[in-house]
């Protein structure tokens, strides 16, 4: 499945979900209107009984006063806000105050008021039914394309899923759903605590001191509990390679590296003003997600998968044929250089069997022997030693033109271009900075993602969103929390309306 078709599939799914949610609310509204019509069905008979009781009371029958009060109670509970309810309420009030003649005059027009209210309820019911039906059409119509795209997604990745599924560790069916729910609770605690702390900081001067302190302490406690929960549950709810391929539908990015680099990749780059639990590898694979889902061989024997690339596990004595097959089936091979012999075998095989544009090499800094060894595997000098920095994470990115000539791109912060002079340009730049400044977490992985984006563009692969994807992943914990809080609020509103329809709420 291409990136455009995948985006189209996601758009269809989003439209279907939103319209289905709106249709449910409108259906509940139509149900409440129908219930209001049913409850008001006896209104003509009740109005006649109320008018008769009013006539008897005007004639001196004091016992009819109880019937007038009972009629007022019925219209108060069953009549809509309108002329008939107002007339009955006013008539009863006049009776209580002894204004019998005025009450008698009001009661004379009650039957006509009831008919007007019944007609208004019928029109409202017809309108709400039609609106609910119109909104129900899009999700029903989109169901077919959504199912077709789902089937297409499965077919496009069937072969590589078969390859990867052979090496997926077996897990109990309930494990991932349970830890996904626990992770969701952690995200809600994190975002909810941040909201409470932010509110206390902004509006604390309007609160009693004890309330403000309680909000701050409670919010910080919720943030801490959310972080602890996420650290425990996220590795246990990680999606395996087969599931990631099935969910995405695009050909994958094969990420090859030395297992010794996993500890460096697991570091979390914090940024001022944000609480992040997402590692460098998560940010890195999030950026590569602009190309396709990222899969990687997991370290044999690790109790839990590392977060980032979706893992599968190969046997130690028979891993090479599978890696070769995955190179063929992947649309991009990203290989982090190291000193292990297996990595250099993978470099050699990628150069021998794959198109040049598919291979991207990541060179860590501060390892001169690695630079020397790479030069022996290349057909032309790379001049890597002149540009690679000292960052042990990644010092440079290397791509290749169709003749396998290396193109080296140093992985370092890109200097900001000087803006043209002019008040309008400066004003616009200031607005963009104000609007998007809260997203500016320029971590080392952000700079690496920008370098990879430029490196891929040099070989004809243009993915403009890679750097901002890395930034977005770094903030994912907060965004997921806010999204889940919003979803819970919307679901709570829907449930409350259902309870009202059922007469429970």
Give, in order, the Cα–Cα distances in Å from 338 to each of 41, 85, 267. Answer: 81, 82, 18
- Whether 390 and 365 have beta carbons less than 8 Å apart is answered as yes
Q: How far apart are CA 271 and CA 470, in angstroms?
A: 13
- The alpha helices in 234-340, defined as continuous H runs, are 241-248, 262-265, 280-288, 320-329
Q: Give the per-residue pLDDT at 420.
A: 47
Is there a contact between 471 and 445 (Cβ–Cβ < 8 Å)?
no
Q: Which residues of the chain have pLDDT under 70?
A: 1, 270-275, 413-441, 505
Bridge partners for 362 per DSSP: 336, 397
| Residue 380 to residues 362, 377, 404, 419, 451, Cα–Cα distance (Å) | 17, 9, 8, 38, 22
pLDDT in tens, 48-81: 999 999 999 888 888 899 999 999 999 999 999 8
CB 256 within 8 A of CB 333: yes
Pull the structure tokens for residue 475: 């903030």
Closest-CA residue to 160 (of 241, 79, 67, 88): 241
Is the pTM higher than 0.85? The answer reads: no
Check residue 371 and give its pLDDT: 84
Cα(213)–Cα(247) distance, integer angstroms: 44
The residue written with tokens 């799914």 in the block is 13
- In the chain, where the domains are located: 1-156, 252-474
For 283, residues 6+ apart whose C-beta sits below 8 A from its C-beta are 269, 443, 445, 446, 449, 470, 471, 473, 474
**DSSP state letter for 361:** E
| C-alpha to C-alpha distance for 53 and 88, rounded to whole angstroms | 12
Q: How much is the pLDDT for 271?
A: 53
């Amino acid at each position: 499945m291409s990136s455009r078709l995948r985006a189209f599939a996601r758009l269809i799914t989003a439209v279907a979900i939103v319209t289905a949610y709106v249709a449910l609310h409108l259906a509940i509204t139509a149900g409440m209107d129908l219930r209001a019509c049913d409850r008001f069905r006896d209104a003509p008979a009740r109005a006649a009984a109320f008018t008769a009781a009013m006539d008897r009371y005007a004639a001196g029958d004091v016992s009819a006063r109880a019937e007038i009060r009972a009629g007022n109670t019925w219209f108060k509970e069953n009549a809509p806000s309108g002329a008939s309810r107002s007339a009955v309420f006013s008539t009863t009030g006049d009776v209580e105050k002894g204004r019998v003649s005025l009450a008698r005059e009001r009661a004379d027009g009650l039957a006509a008021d009831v008919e007007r209210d019944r007609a208004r309820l019928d029109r409202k019911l017809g309108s709400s039914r039609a609106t609910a039906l119109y909104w129900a059409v899009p999700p029903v119509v989109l169901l077919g394309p959504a199912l077709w795209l789902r089937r297409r997604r499965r077919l496009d990745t069937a072969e590589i899923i078969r390859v990867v599924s052979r090496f997926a560790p077996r897990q109990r069916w309930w494990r991932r759903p349970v830890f996904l729910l626990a992770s969701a609770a952690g995200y809600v605690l994190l975002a909810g605590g941040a909201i409470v702390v932010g509110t206390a900081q902004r509006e604390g001067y309007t609160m009693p001191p004890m309330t403000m302190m309680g909000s701050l302490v409670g919010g910080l406690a919720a943030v801490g509990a959310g972080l602890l929960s996420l650290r425990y549950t996220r590795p246990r709810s990680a999606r395996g390679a087969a599931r990631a391929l099935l969910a995405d539908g695009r050909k994958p990015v094969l990420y090859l590296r030395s297992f010794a680099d996993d500890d460096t990749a697991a570091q979390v780059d914090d940024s001022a003003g944000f609480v992040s639990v997402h590692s460098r590898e998560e940010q890195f694979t999030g950026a590569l997600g602009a190309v396709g889902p990222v899969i990687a061989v997991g370290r044999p024997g690790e109790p839990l998968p590392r977060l980032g690339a979706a893992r599968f596990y190969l046997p130690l004595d028979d891993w090479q044929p599978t890696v070769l097959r995955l190179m063929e089936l992947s649309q991009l091979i990203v290989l982090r250089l190291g000193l292990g012999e297996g990595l250099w075998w993978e470099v050699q095989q990628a150069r021998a069997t794959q198109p040049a544009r598919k291979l991207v090499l990541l060179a860590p800094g501060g390892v001169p022997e690695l630079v020397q060894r790479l030069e022996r595997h290349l057909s032309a000098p790379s001049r890597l030693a002149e540009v690679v920095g000292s960052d042990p994470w990644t010092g440079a990115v290397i791509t290749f033109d169709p003749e396998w000539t290396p193109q080296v791109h140093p992985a370092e912060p890109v200097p900001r271009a000087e803006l043209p002079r002019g008040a309008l340009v400066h004003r616009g730049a200031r607005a963009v900075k104000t609007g998007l400044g809260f997203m500016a977490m320029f971590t080392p992985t952000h700079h690496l993602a920008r370098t990879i984006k430029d490196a891929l563009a040099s070989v004809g692969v243009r993915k403009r969103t890679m750097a901002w994807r890395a930034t977005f992943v770094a903030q994912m914990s907060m965004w997921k929390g806010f999204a889940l809080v919003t979803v819970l609020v919307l679901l709570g509103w829907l449930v409350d309306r259902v309870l009202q329809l059922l007469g429970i709420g």
